[in-house]
A and B are shown apart, each in its own frame.
Chain A
Amino acid sequence: MIKAILIFNNHGKPRLSKFYEHYTEDTEQQIIRETFHLVSKRDENVCNFLEGGLLIGGSDNKLIYRHYATLYFVFCVDSSESELGILDLIQVFVETLDKCFENVCELDLIFHMDKVHNILAEMVMGGMVLETNMSEIITQAEAQSKMEKSEAGIAGAPARAVSAVKNMNLPEMPKNINIGDISIKVPNLPSFK
């Protein structure tokens, strides 16, 4: 079982948090902080597994994380999950985000948290891995956004226009923190499908 999926940036700011067990908001923040603290002090070229999260679960649990450019993707899992399998799953997740957002960057995640949630929902459900096939995930996610667009229809047009205008006068929209560009290499892992 996956207990939680967290995305935060290099400064520990949460970009997405999905807990598959209930915690109060305060505990959740504490878990994020603790996890960030544990993960961020690790070197780049050490292993991606980490034991000893005190707050989430017991000794059975492990943190499995990957660090992409400015973002940490952390999965907290118990012993029923395969460590390398989850690492691959994170990779699939990031690649899927990359496809759905077209060169995903931290800003995409910041401004479209809901969309990230929706994509994640196609991969992991209630803490269990639902789908690992990237094209299937993308197909389903796109079918749903298409539906969303068709529902918005004409009524949605003005809102979209306004939103576009708002975005236009955004000088702070740097696209430079591009995860897609930074080569996401899976160390020595033959493709896992």
Chain B
Amino acid sequence: MALKIVKGSIDRMFDKNLQDLVRGIRNHKEDEAKYISTCIDEIKQELKQDNIAVKANAVCKLTYLQMLGYDVSWAAFNIVEVMSSSKFTYKRIGYLAASQCFHEGTDVIMLTTNQIRKDLSSPNQYDTGVALTGLSCFVTPDLARDLANDIMTLMSHTKPYIRKKAVLIMYKVFLKYPESLRPAFPRLKEKLEDPDPGVQSAAVNVICELARRNPKNYLSLAPLFFKLMTSSTNNWVLIKIIKLFGALTPLEPRLGKKLIEPLTNLIHSTSAMSLLYECVNTVIAVLISLSSGMPNHSASIQLCVQKLRILIEDSDQNLKYLGLLAMSKILKTHPKSVQSHKDLILQCLDDKDESIRLRALDLLYGMVSKKNLMEIVKKLMLHVDKAEGTTYRDELLTKIIDICSQSNYQYITNFEWYISILVELTRLEGTRHGHLIASQMLDVAIRVKAIRAFAVAQMATLLDNAHLLTGNTQRNGICEVLYAAAWICGEFAEHLEDPMLTLEAMLRPKVATLPGHIQAVYVQNAAKLFATVLQKHEGETDSQAAQETSQLLIDRLPLFVQSANLEVQERASCILQLVKYIQKLQQKNVEVAEEVTALFAGELNPVAPKAQKKVPIPEGLDLDAWINEPPSESESEDEKPKAVFAKEEPKHSRSRHTEVDEKELARRREARKQEQANNPFYIKASPSSQKVYDAPGVEHIPVVQIDLSVPLKVPGMPMSDQYVKLEEERRQKEKADKKKKEKKKKREKRGKGRKGDSGPESEEDITPAHHVDIVTEEMPENALPSDDDDKDPNDPHKALDIDLDKPLADSEKLPVRTHRPEVLKSPAEDRDDNTIPQETKKKSSKDKKEKKKDKEKDRKRSKEDKKKKKKHKDVEEELPESLPEEVVQSEETKEVAVPPTSADASDLDFWLSSAPVPPVAQVVTVSSSAAAATVDSSSAAAAESEPEELKDTEPDDTKSSKHKKKKQKKEKEEKEKKKKKRHHHHHHHHSDAGAEDSVQNGTVEDEEPLPPMSNYSLLAENSYIKMMKEDADQVCDIQGNHQDESKVVVSVIFENKSDSFLKSMEFNVLDSLNSKLQRPDGAGPHDGLTVPFQLPPGVSNEARFVFSVQSIVMPQKLKGTLTFIVKTDESSTHEKLDFKLHFTCTSYLITTPCYSDAYAKLLESGDLKGSSLRLEGVNMPFHHLLARICFHHHFSVVERIDSCASMYSRSIQGHHVCLLVKSSDQTVSIDAKCDEPSLLGNVLDEIKQTFSKC
């Protein structure tokens, strides 16, 4: 026996190990494959042995061979065997092999579930680690489902090494088993604040990865991430968070505003380029999300552009590359700021690094304007000539075309120039993009009617010189342009100067070497040209020319009739016969031109590529249903459709009846139009293009006279340059003209507006060379705008689009193995019951109360006995479902207060609304509130009240029982606290209301909107002006001098009600001892403040004034005056308006979010003095009531249970104000506490007033 072991180990010594294998392969360079196949045979032998060491060695070698590209999946079972070895060494080899070659299709994977589970719970942390690492590579949906719970347990492992791996792998689990996301999320969130930086980083990593795909579900985490961002020093974490914010800001512009400042600080302070770069990137994202005109962010843009310029100028190519990359993002929204760095970007075009050149090209795309397009393209054309590699040259070519054709040729002012550029591009040798140029030529010629004459002339030249293009071989992709050239010449042949010449060029024998599809077009268009020639010579007494043409065709076409290409052959033989017939007629001196032309009459309109798809299916139309009864068997299939369309056919088809006279034609055209108008299926021209087509026939197309003084070819100079010069001259002339006009205008209408024309010529100033109407592509009339064609339905991340704020339902628990009896003992069970989804809770409240008590006791007990509690916690952590409540509980032991799930949504709002800049919405509405005053205020209010609305949604009825329960619980807890004076966090209500909030946050509409509210009240009004004021709750402390002096900002909307212009407005108040208007330095105490704007008739604008206030416990009134000048056409008069500014105590309160635990602590501190208030006959829903208090009096809801809510606010001097609002039967009682009784009294009075008003 012993001998056998010794023998085994000696055998093993001489087995090849990995090193031997590698060495062997290196020594057999000539016959590597053969050597490896013998090695694989050896490995197969080794795998058959019982000795696990031998097996592991074999598997290790297989891993190497796998890297070399050998399929080793046949050894999958052996790999599983090695994985399940008890020795770490072998286990690791096994897991490595598995991670390299297992995948979802590997069938033995299902055998591993139990082994992996065992390893996950191994006492050796490295066993666990290796299992996690391996699993991260080959996790399948089944494994994810079966192991999700085990991994979740590991997320709270004592060792950070395991924790971080467990956290990270959760992402893979979520991907494979999306159902696990919601149950696991609370714990994942908790890990964001793990004491170990590695774990924290892993959690950030996972959440960022999740949020990148479905950002809206993670908005509620923004405050938490914000905190991390401002506190973390780990650049990896910072980068991830900053990137995440970049993904979140588009959804929530307020977030962006909040971010700008800290990001700017980071940009200034960090030394790590990577961090700097990501900050710049996110600032850009923020700016993009705010792009709806916030002029005061130009500083940030400047900063970004500046920093990027530094990066681009850096000698490090990496930074240069990234700088350009980020620059292209700014470009989209702030092209002006980037355009000023054109020099730098053009410089990058000369860089030796292709990556950088390509990036610079991308940038150019967005930098062009009408003004500089020609210049930029000229530069690119130079590069095209210089470019050595064909790939780069092709890239340049496509970019030139992209740049020129972008947004419907927006920047092209001179299409002659563009056509010549295209023609120049055809000279490129060996490009793949011939078809691209061709399609551009076609597009321009079709859609820009005015250019057709010129285009046709150019194309004729191209056709004439076709031998230059086709030059060497057929594989030359450029010959595609001949396709376009031939078609354009044929279709618009009426513009040809000498159609005969072109016809001759198209029928040269050499054409037969072109690709078939091009030949086909040649033949077809030769026929069109033929028709044109006939028409041209019609009526001439000498029919010589016409007959010559026919003869030419009859001579040349047989070449094409013999073509191997079916299309060419078919067309050629048709046309040949036709021409022969025509020749006969010609010989009889019959006039044929009109009939022949009629063959090609009519115009093709451009149709948008998706037009057909977008035709909406009319109601009641079932495309799959039979139109008629299914055909009986005797009937042949193809007869049916004929019957359906037979009636319409003659009308739609181009008339071939030669005897139709002009009148008949006109009549038919009329009839057809009528029919089209009534036919819903006919794709009509869009209204914009309608007018273009209204022209009755082709002959009325406006044709631009080309200035023939321009020679079409300038020897020695590329043609396009000529146009650049001409264009420049034209523009200068135009500019001069304009200036003259402008001056005249100025003299005529002085002082009409402030819009000056100073500065360089702006985009709009450049008018196109001639009127070009770009015919837009046709779309069906009521096409659906949705463009969801590009979404990939197979994206695995779609499944992870899950609302994370909703409480968990029972059905969502992670599957757990059942043989864990200790887990589901009393506390858990109890809790379980209590958190069963509300819908199922319809038991009597008494019952519940008792249960609650039980639970309370339970909790008390657990608190009293720390050890016991610890145990409880452990149990909880092992609990699979990890209900939010538990999370809160486990947080109790932590020092850091984690913002609990429930409050997130409202937190987010508070957090966001405390941003120093008012929400965009507000600004927008205020500035657009030129309409009637009442409407104005309410709309402003609607915008303002948005955050409040979000906070308070009508709870479902089903929830009420739960709320009641909670209320009782809370009260009880409060009593308890008072008695025992013990640290006790009570639960946050994580009700649905909270959850819904986050969904609604800024995106989804509220179900039951609140009535509009406004904090703007009428200040004063006369026939000229109206002032509305709001005490903004924006307060800044004066250098920490917080206790004795604070600032209040008052926003005043000035609305001009008169028909005259109001200017020189001065705002002044009589200071009191307590409150003073803040005036600029050097101003006397009685000087007024100039309002920084003027008001044209009917316009309103908002100004802000800062007051410093010393004591805030009493409301105050300040008298003030507004003086202004009313300017009419004839005269100007001084006017004034007196007003009284009323500072309520409310205006000293700032909406401050407060977590319920902090709130409880505050109440229990005993520093606050109480007071109460009763309101009778309040007839509004409770949530409206709360919203009103929140909105008008700057409170925030801390917690709301059914018809009872606790609210909090803080004064600018730091007084806490707490309210407990209860409502029943139109009676509202408010119990209030504050550390300043007189302030409280006044606030309560004001609340009372608010409600007495409604």
Contacts and interface: CB of A to CB of B under 8 A. Distances in A.
A binds B: yes
Interface of A: 1, 14, 16-18, 20, 22, 24-26, 28-29, 43, 45-51, 80, 82-85, 87-88, 110-114, 117-118, 121, 125-133, 136, 140, 143-144, 147-148, 151-152, 155, 158-159, 162-163, 166-167, 170, 172, 187-193
A46 B66 contact: no
B581 interface: no
A114 B352 contact: no
23 contacts: A16-B67, A46-B352, A46-B353, A46-B354, A47-B317, A47-B318, A48-B317, A51-B358, A80-B212, A82-B274, A85-B236, A113-B63, A114-B63, A125-B132, A125-B133, A128-B168, A132-B201, A140-B129, A143-B126, A148-B88, A166-B19, A188-B314, A192-B235
B236 A132 contact: yes
B14 A47 contact: no
A152 B90 CA distance: 10
A84 B92 contact: no
Contact of B202 (A50, A117, A130, A162): A130
A117 B96 contact: yes
A88 B274 contact: yes
Contact of A46 (B20, B165, B236, B355): B355
A50 B355 CA distance: 7
A47 B198 contact: no
Contacts of A88: 274
Nearest to A165: B13
Interface residues of B, number: 79
Interface stretch (B203-211, B756-764, B1215-1223): B203-211
A113 B66 CA distance: 12
Given A114-B18, A158-B10, A188-B316, A25 B273 contact: no
* B contact face: mostly helix, strand, loop, or mixed: helix
A22 B176 CA distance: 14
Contacts of B278: 82
Contacts of A114: 18, 60, 63-64, 93, 96
A125 B209 CA distance: 14
Given A132-B201, A190-B271, 20 more contacts: A14-B67, A29-B69, A48-B317, A80-B212, A82-B274, A83-B274, A84-B277, A114-B96, A125-B132, A126-B136, A128-B206, A130-B164, A130-B168, A133-B198, A136-B198, A144-B126, A147-B88, A147-B126, A158-B10, A166-B19
B792 to A, nearest CB: 10
Contacts of A16: 67
Interface string B534-566: 000000000000000000000000000000000
Contact of A126 (B103, B171, B315): B171
A22 B358 CA distance: 31
Report the 9 A-B pairs with minimum CB-CB distance, sorted nearest first: A126-B136, A84-B274, A47-B317, A22-B103, A46-B353, A29-B69, A47-B321, A190-B271, A162-B13
Contacts of A151: 87-89
Contacts of A20: 137
A119 to B, nearest CB: 12
Contact of B322 (A46, A84, A130, A147): A84
Give the most central of A22, A121, A126, A147: most B CB within 10 Å: A126
Contacts of B316: 187-188
Nearest to B160: A136
Contacts of A43: 352-353
Contacts of B201: 129, 132
B775 interface: no
Nearest to B90: A151
Interface in B1-31: 9-10, 12-14, 17-20, 22-23, 26
B399 interface: no
B19 A80 contact: no
Interface of B: 9-10, 12-14, 17-20, 22-23, 26, 60, 63-64, 66-71, 87-89, 92-93, 96, 100, 103-104, 126, 129-130, 132-133, 136-137, 139, 161, 164-165, 168-169, 171-172, 198, 201-202, 205-206, 208-209, 212, 234-236, 239, 243, 271-274, 277-278, 314-322, 352-356, 358
A125 B169 contact: yes
Given A47-B356, A192-B272, A83 B19 contact: no
A106 to B, nearest CB: 12
A144 B69 contact: no
Nearest to B358: A51
Contact of A49 (B169, B202, B234, B355): B355
Contacts of A143: 126
Contacts of A84: 273-274, 277, 318, 322
B128 to A, nearest CB: 12
Contacts of A188: 273, 314-316, 319
Contacts of B136: 125-127
Given A129-B236, A147-B126, A166-B19, A80 B87 contact: no
Contacts of A45: 317
Nearest to B136: A126
A16 B99 CA distance: 13
A121 B202 CA distance: 14
Contacts of B87: 151
A53 B14 CA distance: 43
Nearest to B96: A117
B355 A125 contact: no
A126 B167 CA distance: 12
B236 A159 contact: no
Contact of B133 (A83, A121, A129, A190): A121
Nearest to B57: A159
Contact of B318 (A51, A131, A155, A187): A187
B1070 to A, nearest CB: 57
Contact of B274 (A112, A159, A192): A192
A172 B198 CA distance: 42
Given A113-B18, A147-B88, A163-B19, A129 B355 contact: no
A160 B9 CA distance: 12
Nearest to B173: A126
A127 B201 CA distance: 14
Contacts of B104: 22
